Amino acid sequence: MGKIERFEDIDCWKEARQLVKLVYSLTNKEPFSRDWGLRDQIQRAAISITSNIAEGFESQGNREFVQFLFYAKRSSGELRAQLYAAYDLGYINEVEFGEAQELAIKVSKMLSNFISYLKSTRKG
């Protein structure tokens, strides 16, 4: 793994950023945009992923960073559950659901791999 100097260098953050863009694209369409509760919750979950990666990167060592990566991973799970609700309610179609789920799962797997890597370095 190359040297990471900024959180913007982290691959799982880059993918999570794409997930945020996709979630906002889906939630800004009718009728999803009128369901303020679900729309706001799913947007917050998506933003939480990128935010926790960034916040963890700025922490005082790998142990704390890993903790924030686990928060990001949990937010990815929350987002995936909310995508099911959006699909079941007819706010997104099967293709949109599949695309968003696939990207959310990819981000979650990347986070798991990054967590494993950081744990293996045993710093801080």
CATH classification at residue 37 = 1.20.1440.60
Of the pLDDT bands very low, low, confident and very high (cuts 50, 70, 90), residue 124 is very low
Q: Is residue 2 part of a domain?
A: no
Report the number of distinct structural domains present in the chain.
1
The reported pLDDT for the residue numbered 60 is 77
What percentage of the chain has pLDDT greater than the value 90? 86
The Cα 41–Cα 106 span in angstroms is 21
Average pLDDT over residues 12-25: 98
Q: What is the pLDDT of residues 36-77, one digit of tens each?
A: 999 999 999 999 999 999 999 998 788 999 999 999 999 999
Of the pLDDT bands very low, low, confident and very high (cuts 50, 70, 90), residue 123 is low
Average pLDDT over residues 108-117: 96
Q: Is residue 6 part of a domain?
A: no
The Cα 102–Cα 114 span in angstroms is 18
Which class for 41: exposed (0-12), middle (13-18), buried (19 or more C-beta within 10 A)?
A: middle
Of the pLDDT bands very low, low, confident and very high (cuts 50, 70, 90), residue 3 is confident
Q: Is residue 72 part of a domain?
A: yes
Q: Is residue 10 part of a domain?
A: no
* Mean pLDDT, rounded, of the chain: 94
Q: Is residue 47 part of a domain?
A: yes
The Cα 35–Cα 37 span in angstroms is 6
State the residue range of the domain holding 93. 24-121
